[in-house]
Structure 1
Amino acid sequence: MKGEHKAVIVLAGMIGAGKSTYTKLISEALGSEAFYESVDDNRILEKFYEDPKRWAFSLQIHFLNSRFRSIKSAFLHENNVLDRSIYEDALFTKINHAEGNMSDAEMDTYLDLLDNMMEELDGMPKKSPDLLIYLRGSLDTVLSRIEKRGRVFEQIEGNEGLLTYYTHLHDQYDDWFKAYDKSATMVVDIDTLDLENPDDAVEIIGRVKARLNEVRSEAMVAE
């Protein structure tokens, strides 16, 4: 039934993990609105891959603004699935800073803006998602999916620096997830589950619905 599992769900995971595909599957199954992070109209993304030191700060500000707008809309409508959220945005920025793509001053400016935005979210009637779904997989799986979807600027062939960036980001994701405390969570192992397999898709939707029921039950007990 449409709206039966009304909730705000956010996806998290590496570049290439399949967040947009999962968002489509879950939103259609739950009768939710899907929020996608647009690549086609992002004028900075490809420039970043070509020259990360020049464009990292601009890209992260672009993403932060876009994700802030999306999460505000999701909190107002309360029945949405987002393919990436503001909550993992700082991870990408910290990796870019560690890689030398952003200066200390740029990092401080970004974090100050992020804190300001998070204070605004704390003032909304709904203050956090109902569920975060972490798409966890090996670096080999992620790289294989990046290659398969074929965006030229994302490919590591002949770009050792990009492979280093992906590896550094991947190494930090589990720690980011362990520290995340804004909502209930669940993990999907993308090494063993593949949405191109209809049985796996059915299994994933069943898990999501079951986890949402658990979250609701826990909320009722807390009240």
Structure 2
Amino acid sequence: MEKNVIVLAGMIGAGKSSYTELISKELGSKAFYESIQDNRILELFYKEPKRWAFALQIYFLNTRFRSIKQALLDQNNVLDRSIYEDALFTQINFEEGNISEPEMDTYLDLLDNMMEEIDTLPKKSPDLLIYLRGSLETVLKRIKMRGRPYEQIHLNPGLLDYYTTLHSRYDDWFTSYHHSDTLVINIDEIDIHNEEDARILMLQIRKKLKEVRH
């Protein structure tokens, strides 16, 4: 069996966990999921972003660093989010005034230190990054469907600006990504809960992995 490290990327609500579950099952690899249930800061951030943004980003940076290290050592995994897109969220929080300049400098220094550590591993990067790209309308619909109260716009109207800003920046982030080969999936057109769509998706992924290996 071929071994691969695959990372998922995309907006809040894009479906990364569902894709991770499907891909890991189909490829017989281990799934790494973003820590939500154990995260005591996330809900606090949505209530008071200026108070909790820095703590949240440090929490995510630490957990994603741990996950990518494990994944690159095991070499047969799918991660539903990775350290590579973490700085995008931090940058937006900085621009919105939720994170101070000294905090931002501290975060970037820590991130650089972690990336240097990753470069010392036998396997230094994923084999493939899968970018789940879709319209803001699709993303907002999925956020509403999964029903986490602290993510809902009708309970916190200010979140629409945050989601809109984040969504508008993802393509630029993806363009700047350079750590591995990439595959873009249009989530407006694919529903992986549909058996045929899931089959077509896995054909695309297997084809791309074959190209990467050769």
Identity %: 68
Q: Aligned residue pairs: how many?
A: 214
Distance 1:161 1:149 in 2: 19
Correspondence for 2:204: 207
Mapped partners of 2:96, 2:152: distance in 1: 18
1:110 is aligned, of 87, 107, 110, to: 107
Q: 1:63 pairs with 60, 65, 75, which one?
A: 60
Amino acid of the structure 1 residue aligned with 2:169 = Q
Q: Is the counterpart of residue 120 in structure 1 residue 117 in structure 2?
A: yes
* Partner residue, 1:99: 96
AA aligned opposite 1:55: W
> Where does 1:1-223 land on structure 2 (aligned, <5 Å)?
4-217=1-214
Mark the runs of 5 or more structure 2 residues left unpaired by the alignment: none
Supply the distance in 2 between the matched residues of 1:101 and 1:165 (Cα, whole angstroms): 12
> What letter matches 1:169 in structure 2?
L
* Separation in structure 2 between the aligned mates of residue 34 and residue 144 of structure 1, nearest angstrom: 25
So what's the TM-score if we normalise by structure 2?
0.99
Are the equivalent residues in 1 in contact too, given 2:149–2:155 (CA < 8 A)? no
Counterparts of 2:103 and 2:205 in 1: how far apart (Å)?
A: 38
4+ residue stretches of structure 1 with deviation over 6 A?
none
- Contact 1:23 1:81 survives alignment (8 Å): yes
Given that residues 14 and 134 in structure 2 are in contact (C-alpha distance below 8 angstroms), is that contact kept between their aligned partners in structure 1? yes
Give the aligned partner of residue 220 of structure 1: none
8 A Cα contact 1:5 1:212, kept in partner:
no
RMSD, aligned CA = 0.7
List runs of 5+ in structure 1 lacking aligned partners. 218-223
